Amino acid sequence: MKNAQSLSELNAVNSFAALPEAFYTRLPAQGLNNPRLLHANHEAAALIGLDPAVLSTSEFLEVFSGSRPLPGGDTLAAVYSGHQFGVWAGQLGDGRAHLLGEVEGPEGAWELQLKGSGMTPYSRMGDGRAVLRSSVREYLAGEAMHGLGVPTTRALALVVSDDPVMRETVETAAIVTRMSPSFVRFGSFEHWSSRRQPDLLKTLADYVIDRYYPQCREAQAGETPSETAPYVNLLQEVTRRTALLMADWQAVGFCHGVMNTDNMSILGLTLDYGPYGFMDGFRLGHICNHSDAEGRYSWNRQPSVALWNLYRLGGSLHMLVQDADALRAVLDQFEAIFTRAFHDRMGAKMGLAAWVPDDEALLDDLLKLMDANQADFTLTWRRLADALQGRRSAFEDLFIDRLAAGAWLDRLLARHAQQGRPVAETAAAMNRVNPLYVLRNHLAENAIRAAKMGDPGEIDTLLKLLRNPYVAQDGYERYAGLPPDWANGIEVSCSS
């Protein structure tokens, strides 16, 4: 398949725009003044079959700065509702985002969405804009998560301008182009159930099933076919994907920061990067969002919040499935799926070929030790392979209580001895699942500072490292080291 040599050659499909108009408002994006392309993502362009040469054209800048529509697209802002910080917020929607259209790529379709592209009917009290600071963070985040193997939205382009935007201070505007197979959320379903409109809820559910989960139409072994079975199966698949996503987040020390139901993807993707963070010093109750005064979305609560959100989705589908017990039985599977996946991931991080019940205490004791010492999350795991090969101090130096760290390490080494696996083989396996590079807040901050000067160099460097985060690269040691002292002063909030 030949790459498109211009945007007009892309294969637009626009399936969401074919839904009834109650699901969105058609309106043009509001472009930035004197826009400049700060960065374009060649890997993301390949996903939609776009030739890299197109990224430097004036047409590309005009479309992804919001100045003209995507050729063949159908620009709109979607409506949805949701629970925010556990409280019903009513109608929400794309308050500063425009879906430009959907493009069929070599391996599937991708929706292209501008974030920061002006006000919509769903902006409420917002101005419809995004600032450079948050846009750089979102542009980098999806690529960082993809490099770690975590399901996520992606980013195609980052456009900046000198247009002023008022947040805590006056900042400059930017637009990031996000890519996802779908931007449908749990809150999309809550919207229609809260309005007691089962016909539109069914339309949405059928669209999602037919487009993304066609296997949900197939009768399960021993199951009596019924009209409502596909919706039960839909909840089951979303529950499974969400449980696996939570295991992925916990294993890499990622905190989303604002797990509202309107930020939960129906496809089990990491969606809406705002006040997220990868932990430096580990705390079980780490809160990455300065706006989260109650700690609702702390690291150790993320799995239970995900289940709470799934119950809201299940409650919405109850309008289509009268058998509440069937829905509840599906939701009851979450804990087992998450626990098994979490143990698999954490066992691999410890170099264990197979998880056994006694490994639970080994993992819990390490997490408690890390919490008590605020040991660096990423480096603690990465240096386990060094310790296994005789370089114990690399691991123990991360702990204030080095004796306790050494005692725990002895237990892990004894566990490894039981496996009888060659040390070099085990260490290599551990380094394949314990990243060296993650998008720490201070690294993102350095990229933001450079971007404010019009320099995309730090973005280039971070993408190079984060796309292959498990392999050490010479000359980039500072990107894999402990954060500087000034990083402790970085705060991210819902305005981020």
pLDDT digits (tens, 9 = 90+) for 218-235: 877 667 778 999 999 999
Q: In this structure, is residue 225 part of a structural domain?
A: yes
Environment class of 116 (CB within 10 Å of its CB; exposed 0-12, middle 13-18, buried 19+): buried
Catalytic residue numbers read 262
Exposure string of 425-447, with b = 16+ CB inside 10 Å and e = fewer, is: ebbebbbebbbbbbbbbbbbbbb
How many Å apart are CA 473 and CA 481, to the nearest integer? 13
Task: Decide: helix, strand or coil at residue 103.
Answer: strand
Q: In this structure, is residue 273 part of a structural domain?
A: yes
Position 163 scores a pLDDT of 96
The answer for residues whose C-beta is within 8 angstroms of residue 196's C-beta and 6 or more apart is 319
166 and 236 belong to one structural domain = no
Exposure string of 3-13, with b = 16+ CB inside 10 Å and e = fewer, is: bbeebeebebb
The answer on pLDDT for 496 being more than 70 is no
- Report residue 495's pLDDT band, with 50, 70 and 90 as the boundaries: low
99 and 210 belong to one structural domain = no
Position 220 scores a pLDDT of 73
Q: Please, how many CA atoms are within 13 Å of residue 417, restricted to the half-sphere of its CB?
A: 6
Q: In this structure, is residue 141 part of a structural domain?
A: yes
- Tell me which H or E stretch contains 465: helix 457-466
Output the six-digit token pair for 358: 């006694």
Last residue of a domain, one of 298, 313, 343: 343
Environment class of 221 (CB within 10 Å of its CB; exposed 0-12, middle 13-18, buried 19+): exposed
- Mean of pLDDT values over 55-72: 97
> In angstroms, what is the C-alpha Rg of the chain?
23
Output the six-digit token pair for 274: 């705002």
Position 112 scores a pLDDT of 98
**CA–centroid distance for 299 within its chain:** 14
Q: State the residue range of the domain holding 225.
A: 187-343
Position 148 scores a pLDDT of 98
222 and 312 belong to one structural domain = yes
172 and 37 belong to one structural domain = yes
Alpha helices in 259-401 (DSSP H): 302-317, 324-331, 334-349, 359-373, 377-382, 384-388, 392-396
Position 490 scores a pLDDT of 85
Contact 137, 444 (CB under 8 A): yes
Q: In this structure, is residue 209 part of a structural domain?
A: yes
- Mean of pLDDT values over 83-108: 97
149 and 298 belong to one structural domain = no
Output the six-digit token pair for 103: 């493009």
**CA–centroid distance for 136 within its chain:** 15
Output the six-digit token pair for 38: 């700060």
State phi, psi for 439 to the nearest 5 degrees. -80, 75
The rounded mean pLDDT for the chain is 96
Output the six-digit token pair for 490: 């970085």
Task: Decide: helix, strand or coil at residue 399.
Answer: coil
- Report residue 353's pLDDT band, with 50, 70 and 90 as the boundaries: very high
- Mean of pLDDT values over 407-428: 96
Domain count, the chain: 2
